[in-house]
Amino acid sequence: PALWLDPHAVHHKMLTCRTTSRPCAAASRARLAVPSRGRLLRTNVSVGDVFPDFTLPSDSGASISSQDMIKDSFVLFSYPKANTSGCTTQASGFRDNIKEFASKGFKIYGISADSPAAQAAWKAQYQFGYPLLCDENLKVLGQLGLAEGTSIKRSHILVSKGGKVLDAQIGVSSKDSVPKALEVVLNAKPL
């Protein structure tokens, strides 16, 4: 369930369910970060969660919102730095399997803290056929649990049309990310 942090209850570490306003059992497992003015607290995503709202610039300079993304099923993969060996391996794997993902109705998005210019150059060099999102301040990456401080965890999240998280692999290797994502997609029930 979505968790709501009452700013007055921070020192008591009390989290409440957003829909029922009752104390949530997940409070003991949650990492507390104190948002200002009691905003929705998300520090990671788990299977069954609703994918959070955000808007980020992409490699093209255009903004992409998660509300637009959830109009289709998709894979969002994160990588530490564009145009490095492991990141290129992961991104090329998604490029090389784009037809398999598309055959099951999944679009692909990449995300890192690189600038739109760096993402665009890398995308052009390796001919990636999908958008690369730019989270230069790591706000969204942190919200999704894909970054700690300035360190980005190589990961992927699969989301169904409408926004339900189907799978989240945080800290996966560059060689395992695509096969693991593809396995879930190929075994998913038709959407």
**What is the DSSP secondary structure assignment for residue 53, as one 8-state letter?**
P
Q: Which distant-in-sequence residues (6+ apart) come within 8 Å of 75 by Cβ?
A: 94, 101, 106, 107, 108, 109, 156, 157, 158, 159, 181, 185
The yes-or-no answer on residue 24 being catalytic is: no
Residue 10: is it exposed, middle or buried by C-beta count within 10 angstroms (0-12/13-18/19+)?
Answer: middle
Backbone dihedral region for residue 105 (phi beyond 0: left; psi -120 to 50: alpha; all else: beta): left
Q: CA 98, CA 180: separation in Å to the nearest integer?
A: 14
Selecting among 17, 24, 87, 134, the annotated active-site residue is: 87
Q: Which residues have a catalytic role annotated?
A: 87
